[in-house]
Amino acid sequence: MIILSLLLALLVSGCTIPLAKNGISAKKILGSEEAKVVAEKFINDNLLPPGTTATVKNVTDEGDVFNISLDVGGQDYTSYMSKDGSKFFQSGLDMAKFAEEKAAQATAPAASGEAAPAANAPKTDKPKVELFVMTHCPYGLQAEKGLLPAIEALGDKVDAKIRFVHYFMHGDKEEQETYNQVCIREEQAAKYNNYLSCFVIEGDSGKCVVQAKVDAKKLISCVAAKAKGYYKADSDLSNGYGVGGSPTLVINGVQSSAGRDAASYLAGICAAFNNVPAECAKQLSSAAPAAGFGAGSADNSAAAANCAPTQ
């Protein structure tokens, strides 16, 4: 769980931050307007990276503490401060919801294979994220629908790529679509995510080529002359990583597990940064996408399901 990822280095559950050391009196009870000034100054002076500014939109008296409503880089957050201005609380924890999620995690089946939790992936300045899939595997499509919003949110802060496993299981249509996608990815990269966002819903390559404004002539030429070479590079990596199913997530060279919703993918990737960027605080959907083509969501009961040769 990422709580206010922007407030780097201070993400400790239940953490309170003394303010008195900055000359703020721990005895005086502040008024709402004074609390707004104190909180805003403390956050901007001590908690945020350069170039990021917080604005306190509203301060509400909740009895023992002030509720601090914040805008940080266009995102809304809620924090709390003691009424004497001596302690700052980064967020409130919904105890009942937390207990439910903890219980669900304890009873959930373990993911197959030897994947490590995403949080255990090696940390780098710019994480390398590779999702290995088959183009017609329903669980690969599910994972792509979850990952796309996460990598869009992170932009150039991450080196992300959809790759393809070293085998086919869904006939000629899957092989041909793999060649289409590796060509678009390698030769028309700026259009690939738009194409894929269409394909995972529609399942219609021709329609998505038009919708994403892919250069069809360039694509046909690539499929005829270069696609198998591009695919071989993916296939070799898939073998090298020991990929055994679609989808398989690899972060910084290590197989990693994560829920297939956008919020879980964002959290998993952000755990692999040396210095967590502001983009990691973006609020994405925690609903798992439906498996297979089409829109909609599903529960997380099949979070470990994949397409593997032994199935």
3 state SS for the chain:
CCCCCCCCCCCCCCCEEECHHHCCCCCCCCCHHHHHHHHHHHHHHHCCCCCCCEEEEEEEECCCEEEEEEEECCEEEEEEEECCCCEEECCCCCHHHHHHHHHHHHHCCCCCCCCEEHHHCCCECCCEEEEEECCCCHHHHHHHHHHHHHHHHHHHHCEEEEEECCCCCCHHHHHHHHHHHHHHHHHCHHHHHHHHHHHHHHCCHHHHHHHCCCCHHHHHHHHHHCHHHHHHHHHHHHHHHCCCCECEEEECCEEEECCCCHHHHHHHHHCCECCCCHHHHCCCCCCEECCCCCCCEECCCCCCCCECCCC
Check pLDDT > 80 for residue 103. no
Tell me the per-residue pLDDT of 260-274, one tens digit each, with 9 for 90 and over.
Answer: 999 999 999 999 999
* Angle at which helices 138-154 and 189-202 cross, to 10°: 140
Distances (CA, A) of 82 to 10, 180, 223: 18, 58, 63
The answer to whether the pTM exceeds 0.85 is no
CB count within 10 Å of CB 59 equals 22
Instruction: Name the least confident of 54-58, 129-133, 142-146, 154-158.
Output: 54-58
Q: What is the pLDDT of residues 1-42, one digit of tens each?
A: 343 444 434 433 334 445 544 444 446 888 889 989 998 898
pLDDT category of residue 64 using cuts at 50, 70 and 90: confident
pLDDT at 95: 62
Integer-rounded Cα radius of gyration of the chain: 23
CA gap 182, 61 in Å, rounded = 56
pLDDT band at 97; cut points 50, 70, 90? low
CATH number of 112-298: 3.40.30.10
Backbone angles phi, psi at 202, to 5 degrees: -90, -35
Q: Residue 111: pLDDT above 80?
A: no
| CATH fold of the domain at 16-89 | Nuclear Transport Factor 2; Chain: A, (3.10.450)
Q: What is the mean pLDDT of residues 247-270?
A: 92
pLDDT (tens digit per residue) in 66-96? 888 888 766 677 888 888 888 877 666 556 6
Q: Please give the share of the chain, as a percent, with pLDDT higher than 90.
A: 57
Lowest mean pLDDT of 125-134, 243-252, 298-307, name the range: 298-307
Which pLDDT score, from 0 to 100, does residue 114 have? 43
- The pLDDT of residue 127 is 95
Segments making up each domain of the chain, as ranges: 16-89, 112-298
